[in-house]
Structure 1
Amino acid sequence: MTDVACIGVGRMGLPIADRLVRAGHTVTAIGRTAEAREQLHTKGVRAYADIAAATTPGTEIVVVTVLTDEQVREVCLSGPLADRLSRGSTIVIHTTGSPTTVADVATVMAARGIRVVDAAVSGGPHNIAAGDLTLFVGGDVDTVDELRPLLGAYADPILHVGALGNGQRVKLVNNALFAAQIGLVRAGVELGAHLGIDESVLLAALPNGSSDSRALAGIARRGSVDSFAEAVGEFVGKDLAVVRSVAAELGGDLGPLEALLTESVRP
């Protein structure tokens, strides 16, 4: 049994905390409101109002699932987290963001003997509930292997993709390709319309052919590109902003993907 603190218990963090409790771990978390803390308590999570209360020298693993890169910096670099943890503890960053942020956090924490891995996620709350969330994990291989039993409470596969920061890099490529696939399906639907084929006919047929993809399957379930784009727009839009920002930060560009990314979130 491991003492785990979950920071960020929203759409993804709450089901992760729930799975960890079900796996027998002792889990604490931050609930900003009395209502949120009560919801956490009903799931067996020990809920507190702030990081200082939710983490102690006995906390072995901190799982960070806040929404933005800026929030990762606020939690890990501007607050009391480092002072609350003991040497040998580990921070697992699930938030999609910049590899630079992960490196900055790791530098600060290494001076205190605290390990950091970036474990970018692919999937949603339904994958967490089923225990088959995909993780792209960057960091020391021995640390990653040590974490596998705990992460396995909600994730499978757990893919070690190399050095610290590579989890973020792989996730950003993954996000760019997923969004580009939405753009491709939109272009295909528009081609079908020119050829006199209704969108519903295409979406019933194409998932059975060689053009199938996870994006196409999701669009087919929703019934239209516009409906799917609206459903995932908030998350895809946020991820695309990160992709573009990190590509520029690292001195690259998105090349032919850029036009498809624009099409993916077009109203």
Structure 2
Amino acid sequence: MSRVGFVGAGRMGMPMVERLLGAGHEVRVLGRSDESRAAIETAGAKAVDDVSEVGVDVDLVTVCVFTDAQVREVCLERGLLQAMPRGSSLVIHTTISPKTIEDLVAVAEPLAVAVVDAAVSGGPHDIAAGSLTLFVGGPESDVAAVVPVLNAYGDPVLHVGPSGNGLRVKLVNNALFAAQIGLLAEAEALGQQLGVAPEALFSALPHGSSACKVMGNVAMRGSVEAFRSSVGEFISKDVSVVRDTVAELGADLGVLDTAISARA
């Protein structure tokens, strides 16, 4: 079993911590408040209140915070990488710019710390079931070293190429996800023009050739607007990251951008 440090034990991170503990790993978790530290200790992990403590004497540190700026703060400004032992691995779950991964690798290489981007697709229920999809970028040997730990909550764990590719695949995934929501909004509007209620439309379409995973989620809510309301905070954040990063990398969303913006 591995010694794992964890930063970001929130909505997504805490279920990951619980799965890691259930798989027999020794887990040390950053807790910023008395309440969070109590929850961490109750789960069976060790709570620490300083980022650098998370990286001491570990095999792997996982970072699951919310923004690019938070990743940079934790890893580069608050001493996490410098505290990690030679031969250990840093795994980034946060959806960030591939260029940030390049910066982390540049700092980590002289310290003999491997950096792996492991972008996630799914939610807390997938983590609890051990079926979170992970898009993983990095050298093959570095990825192979962390897969046994990631398997505690990730299945499938998909190695999609060199450093940053996990995030690039996640960006395409998120763009397509948002575009599908936009297309379904247009389909719902067409159905209403033809006299078909959204509930009837989305109870039927998942059984047809146009079916997709997003449609199944919409069907469970009864309408596109109801689904958007349930995931609005995360969709807005993801779309913002997609647009900013695609522009930063000099790419073009093309018709996906039109679909994303449809009836938003």
> What is the TM-score with the length of structure 1 in the denominator?
0.97
SS of residue in 2 equivalent to 1:111? helix
The corresponding residue for 2:14 is 14
The corresponding residue for 1:25 is 25
Which whole-Å CA distance do the structure 1 matches of 2:50 and 2:89 have between them? 19
Deviations 1:3-22 (A, max 9, x none): 10010111111010110011
Instruction: Report the Cα offset of residue 252 of structure 1.
Output: 1.3
Structure 2, unpaired ranges of 5+: none
Which amino acid in 2 is paired with 1:158? V
> For 1:1-267, what aligned pairs fall within 5 Å after superposition?
1-56=1-56, 58-263=57-262, 266=264
Please say if residues 135 and 160 of structure 2, whose CA atoms lie closer than 8 Å, have aligned partners that are also in contact: yes
Which amino acid in 2 is paired with 1:133? L
Please say if residues 92 and 118 of structure 2, whose CA atoms lie closer than 8 Å, have aligned partners that are also in contact: yes
Instruction: Report the Cα offset of residue 139 of structure 1.
Output: 0.1
Structure 1, unpaired ranges of 5+: none
- CA RMSD between the two structures: 0.9
Please say if residues 55 and 85 of structure 2, whose CA atoms lie closer than 8 Å, have aligned partners that are also in contact: no
Deviations 1:25-58 (A, max 9, x none): 00011111111111111110101112123331x1
- Residue identity (%): 51
Instruction: Report the Cα offset of residue 172 of structure 1.
Output: 0.3
Which whole-Å CA distance do the structure 1 matches of 2:67 and 2:262 have between them? 24
Which whole-Å CA distance do the structure 1 matches of 2:156 and 2:43 have between them? 25
Deviations 1:74-102 (A, max 9, x none): 11111111221111010000000100001
Instruction: Report the Cα offset of residue 254 of structure 1.
Output: 0.9
Which whole-Å CA distance do the structure 2 matches of 1:103 and 1:52 have between them? 21
Which whole-Å CA distance do the structure 2 matches of 1:50 and 1:21 have between them? 21
SS of residue in 2 equivalent to 1:169? helix
Q: Which deviates more from structure 2 when the two are superposed, residues 132-141 or residues 80-89?
A: 80-89
Which amino acid in 1 is paired with 2:177? F
Which amino acid in 2 is paired with 1:55? G
Please say if residues 118 and 166 of structure 2, whose CA atoms lie closer than 8 Å, have aligned partners that are also in contact: yes
Which whole-Å CA distance do the structure 1 matches of 2:191 and 2:244 have between them? 34
> What is the TM-score with the length of structure 2 in the denominator?
0.98
Which whole-Å CA distance do the structure 2 matches of 1:225 and 1:115 have between them? 42
Instruction: Report the Cα offset of residue 227 of structure 1.
Output: 0.7
Runs (4+) off by over 3 Å = none
Which amino acid in 2 is paired with 1:242? V
Instruction: Report the Cα offset of residue 111 of structure 1.
Output: 1.1
Which whole-Å CA distance do the structure 2 matches of 1:10 and 1:31 have between them? 10
